[in-house]
Structure 1
């Protein structure tokens, strides 16, 4: 299969490409030379989508590109970067798909559970329609609307409503490790907000499953079947590292550091992967403590 991937040098993309050794990969990246150095296998790396005359010989597109959403405060400029890094490349991909005489059979495009907004302890699946008005919802909502236009070409579209991906190689877990390793970790505020997590192996496994399951289409929560509160996650992380769990981070500190972006840590979604489970995917890690134990054992 010839697969075009965007965002391939990110946490999820790197792990995914490692599992696609039997396929021909074209990687759209801002730095082809850097991308080539990151992988032991041979990849075609392109800097501009127009280096591809058309998508007629591409079987599937996996769109993982996007500026990290919680790395910086949400200034107007940063909001613009977050939006354009998702919407712009998705629009380009959809345009190429619609122009192809023989379009890709599958388009898997990123999104996030942030589309649901803050829903407290309400369990939500892919059928939930949110009336949220916050920035994260707006980003994901428009991102998905752009992606689904590819269906007009008879291309199968799957939307990845991703939770917090757990891996030592990067992402949220790597950033939060140090205070826990020093015995200074703890929940954020009361820790009642839900933490929709997923092990990196299931994140990649879920994408591969959707890629190879012709009957799968629509939105999929890429989250473990058993979401936990921030406090329960914090306790599990401290336990997996054999460290005490006695402190907490006050909400005002998060707001001071991140401003509006702090809502991603202070709010949450009790999202469950109903669509993925009903389609037949079997999770390797459904419970948080075994997932963390596995990560730190590697």
Structure 2
């Protein structure tokens, strides 16, 4: 085995499942910290925690090669006051707790990766945003990211390297943004959304997992790192790629006013669709990381080739 122990905090969701599967054959044990108990599957073990108080789960961090923190309430909801508070607390509270625990350990995880969000950058249609020259945006989702990362970097963990991994939109076959877009295409509604000029900074689920392995092995990397494919695409082109790959020639567009009505009906926010995220993973590129899927059409064809 390449690694001894991989720990996934809040790893019972979609992305945690992807990571657990990826590391299953690379590590002696994969530990998931979750609010819900689950039977052990081969070398993947679930340990119960609540994300807010110390407990027996602390021992699972001892000597880990990496702790990947995936905690956070899904932002695919209306930004009511209650949801806003829960979105912030579900990120800040576990991050602060993990920092306190790791800072007191004699044999803490070698690396702590906090999965944050590339949405921290401003709406950008004029130029790409990277770790060196990117502009921080404004609004609720940006404020969440800023508080989240501030909590993360303010924790004192002298024996543990830390990376805030600003994740783009993860493309997966089972439970991510892609199935929703594919359903629109299936029903002839897969045209551009809004003006269609907004950029989508995406990453294939396998690259999302593989780049964390790269970060473990390259100890010079730390701080803020963007986790997106190197070729963002505009919404119009992205929807066209899905239609072409799926064999659908026509896709009705959805203007912004219609998206707002639809968002209210299904309980989400139009920002998730209309914000232009033009993000470049410059640090990963500079370090020599080779993406499995560097272009959107390659990623889309791969996902469509996978049977449920």
Give the TM-score range, shorter chain: over 0.9
Measured in 1, the distance between the counterparts of 2:289 and 2:155 equals 24
Q: Which residue of 2 aligns with 1:58?
A: 64
> Does residue 75 of structure 2 align to residue 69 of structure 1?
yes
Q: Which residue of 2 aligns with 1:241?
A: 246
Inter-CA distance 97–168: structure 2 relative to 1 (3 Å threshold): same
> Does residue 191 of structure 2 align to residue 186 of structure 1?
yes
Which of 234, 255, 271 is equivalent to 1:263? 271
SS of the equivalent of 1:184 reads coil
> Does residue 147 of structure 2 align to residue 142 of structure 1?
yes
Equivalences for residues 129-208 of structure 1 within 5 A = 129-150=134-155, 152-208=157-213
After superposition, the C-alpha distances for 1:223-279 in whole angstroms (9 at most, x for unaligned) are: 111000011101001111111234111111222233682112111121011111111
After superposition, the C-alpha distances for 1:126-174 in whole angstroms (9 at most, x for unaligned) are: 1235342211111111111111234542311111111111111111111
**Deviation at residue 282 of structure 1 after TM alignment:** 0.5
**Deviation at residue 44 of structure 1 after TM alignment:** 3.8
RMSD: 1.9
Measured in 2, the distance between the counterparts of 1:128 and 1:140 equals 17
> Does residue 16 of structure 2 align to residue 45 of structure 1?
no
Q: Which residue of 1 aligns with 2:15?
A: 12
5+ residue gaps in structure 2? none
Measured in 2, the distance between the counterparts of 1:202 and 1:196 equals 13
Inter-CA distance 118–191: structure 2 relative to 1 (3 Å threshold): same
Measured in 2, the distance between the counterparts of 1:123 and 1:210 equals 23
- With normalisation by structure 2, the TM-score equals 0.89
Measured in 1, the distance between the counterparts of 2:269 and 2:31 equals 33
- Preserved contact between residue 183 and residue 245 of structure 1 (Cα < 8 Å): yes
- With normalisation by structure 1, the TM-score equals 0.92
Q: Which residue of 2 aligns with 1:273?
A: 281
5+ residue gaps in structure 1? none
Q: Which residue of 1 aligns with 2:297?
A: 289
Measured in 1, the distance between the counterparts of 2:11 and 2:262 equals 29
Structure that is richer in helix per residue:
1
SS of the equivalent of 1:88 reads helix
Measured in 2, the distance between the counterparts of 1:220 and 1:23 equals 27
